[in-house]
Structure 1
Amino acid sequence: KIIATVAALGILTTAAEATPAFAKQMNAECMSCHYQNIPKLNSFGRDFKMSGFTMTGGVPEVTGNHLSIPATFNLGFVTKTRIQNITDAAGATENTVEIYDESALLFGGKLGENAGASFEMGGGDGIALSGKMIFTKEFGFGRLGAAVYNTDALGAFAATEMFTTGLYRPVRQFENRKITNIFQKTGIGAGRATGLAAYYYGNGLFVSVAQFLPAHAQAADMSQGFNTAIRAAYTASLSGWNVTLGGFSLSGDTSAIDTTVGTIWSADNYFDRTASGVDLQVEGDIAGMSFMSTAGVVIKDTYNNKTTDDNGFHVDAQLNVLEHLGVKIAYLSYNDKLNDAKDYSTMSIGSNWSMYQNVDFAVEYSVTTMGTPAAGSKDPTALLLLAEIAF
């Protein structure tokens, strides 16, 4: 009987990739690791994450025989506030306010030369302490690592994903995720997961393989098997631009028969999911202004005993016209293969302003066109205002 147990630590990926504790460990400003605005990572930020959060910036450490940890126990807090105005196809309007949403008390960092962690207090589903642990070592041919992870919302790729294409829920260009990012719309880059991952990172190549259960638990019985998430991406520098091309797959047909503490997705029944796709990320400067564009394509996505079958794509871009002020645009096309009435496309525009490196504001506006609109219906719209802080 195969039992995969993520024991009393209840390991869950943090709610946001912008973790102030890491800036304190590095003794560096937030934008040393981030690109344009939090929480998007630059190349150094990706290196830091793949190191298992073990890099330090000359801060005092307690050292000894088989011991090397920062002398200061660093904490951080991240939260968001959102205001939304949504108009549906019938013209009905809904206004919502979400105050201190996705709030998290975060801590973690270097555990030793080859081990690090990121934890969160209060991860939901009855689990008090959550996070992920990474064990990694650098070799001449690149870095090898392994992670144990658990998440209530961030998806199968949460252990090691570091790009901005949306395969990892917290790190994407637009906040209104389900109408701007195809991986978020389909749920491929979100949801519960408990499992183990192994990865290689070096020479521009990133490859990870995870075996997981679509559940959020401190302990889970995987005797019925587990799902597999495979991720590969290659980054090249072309005329001063970082260009990343990647792909992924999800496969498996599992049955969670027990969770000691936590929640399984019995209602959503994602245990038999099969999905694949590709993504692209481009980052660089245009006339001295930072620019990032991402694209994602879902080629195949079936689950619920094939009662759900969909695909689609998204393209987005952000240009920072000033160092701390960006404008952005996105287009998403979604196709439900089993129900044409659910097909739609959405055009979105927005802006991000970083009041400070750790205080970010955004405004986004989206217009959706249904594939087969009902007679007399209107195009749904969505206006979103966001404030995000990390300290």
Structure 2
Amino acid sequence: MKKSAQIFASEKTKSTQATAVALVIGTLGLGVWTESQAVPAFARQTGMACNSCHFQGSYPALNQFGRSFKAAGYTQSGAQELVEDDNLSLPAVLNASLITKFRYQKTNGDNARLIESGATIEGKEGAYATNVGELQLPDEAALFLGGRVSENIGFLTELSLHGTEGSNFLSFKMPFNFKAGEDTDLLVVPFITDALGAGFGLELLNTGALRSQRVGEDRKSLMAQQYLGLGYGAAEGITFAAVKESGFLNVTFWSPDWSNFSPEGLATYVRGALTPQLGDWDSGLGFQYYFGKSKNDTGGNIIEEKDIKGWSIDGQLQGEFLGKPLGAYAAYGSVPSNSHFNASANRKTAWSIHGQYGVIPNKATIILGYRHADTGADTDNAVTIGGTYNFAQNVQLQLNHVLRSGSKYDTPQDAGDQQTTLMLFSGF
């Protein structure tokens, strides 16, 4: 036990050091950062500010204009010079963005208890590290290339700069846009992604239907779909979509794998939403529905079949309350037992509601959220309290504190029942 005590004491020292470093980072940021002149790839192409597409400066949550830009397949251009000829229209430069996330994360699990119980550090790296406070530098680092390919074709690709094992090619999609009258966009979007799920083909709401499109960092604590596994994971396929100002509908044929696949072995994802303007409020009310079976050849003519089942309903309101911007988001979802999204023997359900209020419009916000889940074996609840501060439109500091409760926590969890995340996000 003497060795275990030494390990724990060492971890406490590291915790103090990590906390101090995190506070220094935050303090330096508040005192040093100035308005950045660098903006991400799509801003370069359009010649428009980041806030033109993103609701109250919360990248990557979209506002009404951002939905229109995405529905047009990233093809809208602005002041940027184009190379044009017969059947040719593309930017004179290849637009790129560097996206980084530096995080400090602290959980309140009891490492002494884990050591006393005989757990090995090798088997508990994640909990051991965050229980004493962990600097994740970087948590994410990626190069995004994207924009106009021609008058009606765009693209977006993500390349990892993090030095992870395996392929650095993380995501790619190429929307083909066909106008059907003045107010309807028809899209065909082939895609592949390592982590963003079937919704990567096209998603326009900020409710949690797509992993990357959200206002808060701790997605599983804020959003029901993310807790249930809907809206993230490896996926490849093709999306067919119709988009109007009043709503959108997609049908996606996809496989939850990162490999070659046969069109005969694809599951189906249907996503629809109404997006009416309710007075001064930009609203959305939608559903997700996953069904079918995917089949993949895993090698040696062995066919792996996955049962794809799950659904959710969701809604959002974005506008002003007491003269300041407010975004409110809610969702309810369910996944059956023994399926791709849920390997357990019990059906899982979850609902969530969260909001972001701009106390200093386009500069500082507060975030509040509640998520309830029932796994069939226990309950798992999360309350999120946090906020954001934008040093620039493309440089944001975010702080979240999550308090978890429910019968799951009647027995001690490795990472405890609280988590604090301090994150510096930048895109330029």
Same fold (TM over 0.5): yes
**Could you tell me how far apart the structure 2 residues matched to 1:109 and 1:198 are?**
19
Q: TM-score, normalised to structure 1's length?
A: 0.86
Which residue does 1:78 correspond to in 2? 99
Q: Does 1:109 align with 2:147?
A: yes
- CA apart distance, 1:371: 2.4
- CA apart distance, 1:196: 0.5
Structure with greater helix share of residues? 2
- CA apart distance, 1:388: 0.4
**Could you tell me how far apart the structure 1 residues matched to 2:419 and 2:336 are?**
26
- AA aligned opposite 1:336: T
In 2 relative to 1, CA 215–94 (structure 1 residues): closer, same or farther, beyond 3 Å? farther
Corresponding residue SS for 1:52: coil
Match of 1:46 among 44, 67, 70: 67
Q: Does 1:30 align with 2:50?
A: yes
Structure with greater strand share of residues? 1
Cα distance per residue 1:190-220 (max 9 Å; x no partner):
1000101100001411000101000123xx1
Match of 1:326 among 365, 374, 380: 365
- CA apart distance, 1:129: 7.0
Match of 2:322 among 276, 281, 287: 287
Q: TM-score, normalised to structure 2's length?
A: 0.79
**Could you tell me how far apart the structure 1 residues matched to 2:224 and 2:171 are?**
27
Greater CA radius of gyration, 1 or 2?
2
Which residue does 1:11 correspond to in 2? none
Which residue does 1:62 correspond to in 2? 83
Structure 1 runs of 4+ aligned residues shifted over 4 Å read 89-92, 375-379
- CA apart distance, 1:312: 0.8
Match of 1:336 among 371, 375, 390: 375
Corresponding residue SS for 2:213: coil
In 2 relative to 1, CA 373–122 (structure 1 residues): closer, same or farther, beyond 3 Å? closer
Structure 2 residue ranges without an equivalent (≥5):
1-38, 114-130
Which residue does 2:173 correspond to in 1? 132
In 2 relative to 1, CA 213–39 (structure 1 residues): closer, same or farther, beyond 3 Å? same
Q: Does 1:275 align with 2:310?
A: yes
Cα distance per residue 1:314-354 (max 9 Å; x no partner):
100110010210001000001112x22xx211111101111
**Could you tell me how far apart the structure 2 residues matched to 1:310 and 1:71 are?**
50
**Could you tell me how far apart the structure 2 residues matched to 1:129 and 1:98 are?**
20
**Could you tell me how far apart the structure 1 residues matched to 2:171 and 2:381 are?**
36
Equivalent residues in 2 for 1:286-365, closer than 5 Å: 286-302=321-337, 303=339, 307=345, 309-323=347-361, 324-337=363-376, 339-340=377-378, 343-365=379-401
**Could you tell me how far apart the structure 1 residues matched to 2:206 and 2:245 are?**
20
Q: Does 1:99 align with 2:137?
A: yes
- CA apart distance, 1:379: 7.0
In 2 relative to 1, CA 173–122 (structure 1 residues): closer, same or farther, beyond 3 Å? closer
**Could you tell me how far apart the structure 1 residues matched to 2:219 and 2:82 are?**
40
In 2 relative to 1, CA 275–94 (structure 1 residues): closer, same or farther, beyond 3 Å? farther
Corresponding residue SS for 1:197: strand
Q: Does 1:369 align with 2:410?
A: no
Higher mean alpha-carbon deviation, 373-382 vs 320-329, is at: 373-382
**Could you tell me how far apart the structure 1 residues matched to 2:245 and 2:96 are?**
33
- AA aligned opposite 2:150: G
- Say whether the 8 Å CA contact 2:228–2:334 is kept in structure 1: no
- CA apart distance, 1:376: 8.5
Equivalent residues in 2 for 1:123-272, closer than 5 Å: 125-126=166-167, 128=169, 130-140=171-181, 142-217=184-259, 220-222=260-262, 225-258=265-298, 271-272=306-307
Root-mean-square deviation over aligned CA pairs: 2.4
- AA aligned opposite 1:173: V
Cα distance per residue 1:12-70 (max 9 Å; x no partner):
xxxxxxx8111000011111111122111111111101100000113211111111111
Corresponding residue SS for 2:400: strand
- AA aligned opposite 2:420: L
- CA apart distance, 1:130: 4.0
Which residue does 2:31 correspond to in 1? none
Structure 1 residue ranges without an equivalent (≥5):
1-18, 261-265
- Say whether the 8 Å CA contact 1:23–1:29 is kept in structure 2: yes
Q: How many residues align?
A: 360
- AA aligned opposite 1:390: G
- AA aligned opposite 1:237: Q
In 2 relative to 1, CA 26–372 (structure 1 residues): closer, same or farther, beyond 3 Å? closer
**Could you tell me how far apart the structure 1 residues matched to 2:249 and 2:357 are?**
29
Higher mean alpha-carbon deviation, 82-91 vs 184-193, is at: 82-91
